[in-house]
Amino acid sequence: MEENNIFDQKPDFGGKKRSFNFKSLRKLILIALGAILVIIAVSGCFYTVDDKQQAVVTTFGKVTDVTDAGVHFKLPFGIQKAQKVDVNVYQKIELGYQSDDAGEGYQVKPEESTMITGDYNIVNIDFFVEYKVSDPISYLYSSVQPEEILRNLIQSQVRNVVGSSTIDSVLTDGKENIQMQVKDLVTNILAEYDIGLSLVDVKIQDSEPPTVAVIEAFKAVETAKQQAETVVNDAKAYQNAQLPKAQAEADKLIQNAEYLKQNRINEAVQQVAMFQAMYAEYAQNPGITKSRMYYEAIQEILPGVKLYINTAEAGSGVQMLLPLEKW
């Protein structure tokens, strides 16, 4: 008796018999699996790096390349791996406080902000630090948790610098110097540690004494300093306004003195010239010149008086008749 295979028969649809081939189905499944494997292999051969990243490529676990932004090829099936690192992004560290996710408030962390100054005063000081990845290979493989290492390093150097500063400089005019010192110290140590991170900026967000009374006292000191600076600036402004006027007046007096000096010199030269001319005439005719000088002196001494010269000789008997003025 012939045995029928259930897989070789199909239900009768419309009176027609169709046979089902198991071998064809298995072949289709294998083809589909192969296509899926090819797709997976091809998709695993390419990776994309954006403009803010770099990718560290490893071959069998060993670093072989660092790629920049763009689409790149790598060997599939785990032979090569590409790990992306944000290198052109400034990241932040908050010391002494922690901002909330919405950015609308913050939480104070006194275990980080409370410090002692060089003159044995307690101060609360908060720092905001910016850093970035400078070497993606060192960042990934030179240390474990490089951000935590950087945070601890910054906090250590902050306490070191604040501990050598006075309370007045921390609260008032020494903040910029403290920031520069912390940045220089941390940068030098990072160069030795080689954890792939570089410091961009260090800023003091806030610094204040721990009690309200001390806060008010330092506010009063700061107000007095600002008022003193205002007075000094006003004095300098007055000085700058008055100096040009004084200089102009001095120049005017000097020019007038020079004019008077030159005028006196000219008058003296003129008088010398007149005397020399008069002396030359006197040397030629002493009597006539002497009489003329006498008459000129009388006219100068008695202005408005008429002078009559009597030319008659004494004892000649000639009587001089003075002219009568019209009434």
Distance CA 208, CA 110 (A): 12
* pLDDT tens per residue across span 180-190: 999 999 999 99
Taking CA atoms, 218 is separated from 167, 170, 210, 230, in Å, by 10, 11, 12, 18
Asked which of 43, 61, 84 is the last residue of a domain, the reply is 84
Specify whether 79 is located in the same domain as 125.
no
pLDDT at 2: 45
Q: How many CA atoms within 13 Å lie on the side-chain side of 135?
A: 15
The fraction of the chain above a pLDDT of 90, given in percent, is 40
112/150 same-domain check: yes
Let me know whether 103 and 195 are in one domain.
yes
Residue 179 lies in a domain: yes
User: pLDDT value at position 130?
Assistant: 95
Domain extent at residue 236: 211-307
Measure the CA–CA gap between 327 and 156, rounded to whole angstroms.
119
Q: Are 102 and 170 found together in one domain?
A: yes
Q: How many CA atoms lie within 13 A of 10 on its CB side?
A: 11
- Alpha-carbon distance 171 to 267, whole Å? 73
Domain membership of residue 246 (yes or no) is yes
Do 119 and 174 share a structural domain?
yes
Q: Residue 61 in 3-state DSSP?
A: coil
Task: Flag whether pLDDT at 12 surpasses 70.
Answer: no
For the four alpha carbons of 213, 215, 216 and 221, in that order, the dihedral sign comes to positive
What does the alpha-carbon distance between residue 95 and residue 207 come to, in Å, rounded to a whole number? 12
Lowest mean pLDDT, pick from 6-20, 107-121, 207-221, 306-320: 6-20
Q: Is 266 in the same domain as 177?
A: no
Q: How far apart are the first and last CA of the chain?
A: 193
Residue type, 163: G
pTM: 0.56
| Cβ-Cβ contacts under 8 Å for 138 (sequence gap 6 or more) | 194, 195, 196
d(C-alpha 200, C-alpha 33), whole Å: 52
Same domain, 149 and 236: no
Residues 76 and 114 in one domain: no
Please, is 162 exposed, middle or buried when counting C-beta atoms within 10 Å of its C-beta (0-12, 13-18, 19+)?
Answer: buried
Q: Are residues 99 and 189 in the same domain?
A: yes
CATH number at residue 165: 3.30.479.30
Q: Domain for residue 13, yes or no?
A: no
201 and 233 within one domain: no
Q: Which two tokens stand for residue 291?
A: 């009489």
DSSP 180-234: HHHHHHHHHHHHHH--SEEEEEEEEEEEE-SSHHHHHHHHHHHHHHHHHHHHHHH
Q: Please identify, among 184, 210, 236, the residue that sits at the C-terminal boundary of a domain.
A: 210
| Count of the separate structural domains present in the chain | 3
95 vs 156: CA distance, rounded Å = 11
Do 271 and 246 belong to one domain?
Answer: yes
pLDDT band at residue 308 using 50, 70 and 90 as cut-offs: low
Residue at 174 is within a domain: yes
Same domain, 233 and 122: no
Q: What is the distance between the alpha carbons of residues 44 and 37, in angstroms, rounded to a whole number?
A: 10
- Residue 159: inside a domain: yes
- Examine residue 128 and state whether it is found in any structural domain, yes or no: yes
- What's the pLDDT at 177? 94
19 pLDDT tier (thresholds 50, 70, 90): low
- Specify if 316 maps to a domain: no
Asked if residue 303 belongs to a domain, the reply is yes
Q: For residue range 48-81, list pLDDT tens digits in order.
A: 899 999 999 999 989 999 999 998 888 877 788 9
